[in-house]
Structure 1
Amino acid sequence: MNNSLNDARDEIRRVDKEMAALFEKRMEAAKKVAEYKKEHGLPIYDAKQEESVLERNSALIEGPALKVYYKDFIKNMMNISKQYQHALTDGVKIAINGEEGAFAHVAAKRIFKGAEAVFYKSFAEAYEAVEKGECESAVIPIENSYAGEVGQVMDIMFQGDLYVSGMYTLPISQNLLSLPGAKLSDIKEVISHPQALAQCGEYIKEHGFKTAAFTSTAAAAHEVAKRNDRTVAAIANKETADIYGLAVLDHDINESALNTTKFAVFSRKENKERGKMFVLMFTVNDAAGTLAKAISVISSHGFNMKALRSRPVKDAAWQYYFYVEAEGDDSSDKGREMLGELSKVCEKLKVVGRYGAEIDLGNGK
Structure 2
Amino acid sequence: MVNAATLWKWGCFSTKFSQTKPHVEDEKPSDLPLNLEAGRNTDDDTKIAKFHKDFNLIVEPLSSTDLISSNSDGSKIRIAYKGGPGANSEAAAVKAYPNCETVPWEDFESVFKAVELWLVDKAVVPIENSVSGSVHRNYDLFLGHRLHIVGEVQLIVNHCLLGLPGVRKEELKCVLSHPLVIDQCKIMLNRLDVVKVTTEDTAGAAKIVASNGIRYIGAIASLRQAEIYGLNILSKKIQNDSDNITRFLIVAREPIILGTNKPHKTSIVFTLEEGPGVLFRALSVFSLSDINLSKVTYREPANRPLKIVDDSIKGRTKYFNYFVYIDIEVSMAEPRAQNALRHLQEFCCFLRVLGCYPVDAFQ
TM-score range, shorter chain: 0.7 to 0.9
Residue 162 (structure 1) aligns with: 147
User: Shift of the alpha carbon at 1:357?
Assistant: 1.6
Residue 37 (structure 1) aligns with: none
1:100 aligns with 2:85: yes
User: Of residues 308, 315, 321 in structure 1, which corresponds to 2:304?
Assistant: 315
Residue 296 (structure 1) aligns with: 284
Residue 27 (structure 2) aligns with: none
5 Å-filtered alignment, 1:225-236, equals 225-236=210-221
Root-mean-square deviation over aligned CA pairs: 1.7
SS in 2 for 1:359: coil
Contact 2:170 2:192 in 1 (8 A): no
How many residue pairs align between the two structures?
A: 274
5 Å-filtered alignment, 1:348-359, equals 348-359=350-361
Matched AA of 2:244: N
Residue 130 (structure 2) aligns with: 145
5 Å-filtered alignment, 1:238-257, equals 238-257=223-242
Show structure 1 runs of 4+ deviating over 6 A: none
Structure 1 stretch displaced more, 142-151 or 307-316: 307-316
Contact 1:187 1:233 in 2 (8 A): yes
SS in 1 for 2:131: coil
Matched AA of 1:253: I
Which digits, 9 at most, give the CA deviation of each residue in 1:100-139, with x for residues without a partner?
Answer: 1111011112211221111111111101110111111000
Q: TM-score, normalised by structure 2?
A: 0.72
1:221 aligns with 2:202: no
Distance 2:126 2:359 in 1: 17
Which digits, 9 at most, give the CA deviation of each residue in 1:148-199, with x for residues without a partner?
Answer: 0000000111232111111111111111111111122322211111111111
SS in 2 for 1:347: strand
SS in 1 for 2:275: coil
Distance 2:345 2:225 in 1: 46
1:127 aligns with 2:88: no
SS in 2 for 1:248: strand
Distance 1:89 1:308 in 2: 38
User: Shift of the alpha carbon at 1:147?
Assistant: 0.7
Q: TM-score, normalised by structure 1?
A: 0.72
User: Shift of the alpha carbon at 1:89?
Assistant: 7.5
Residue 41 (structure 1) aligns with: none
User: Shift of the alpha carbon at 1:318?
Assistant: 6.8
5 Å-filtered alignment, 1:1-365, equals 90-274=75-259, 276-313=264-301, 314-316=303-305, 319-360=321-362, 362=363
User: Shift of the alpha carbon at 1:239?
Assistant: 1.2
Distance 1:209 1:333 in 2: 57
Distance 2:134 2:200 in 1: 18
Matched AA of 2:272: V
Matched AA of 2:239: N
User: Shift of the alpha carbon at 1:90?
Assistant: 4.7
Contact 2:176 2:220 in 1 (8 A): yes
Unaligned runs of 5+ in 2: 1-72, 306-318
Distance 1:359 1:265 in 2: 15
SS in 1 for 2:346: helix
Contact 2:122 2:251 in 1 (8 A): yes
Distance 1:160 1:299 in 2: 30
Contact 1:166 1:356 in 2 (8 A): yes
Distance 1:311 1:337 in 2: 25
Residue 67 (structure 1) aligns with: none
User: Shift of the alpha carbon at 1:320?
Assistant: 0.6
Structure whose CA Rg is larger:
1
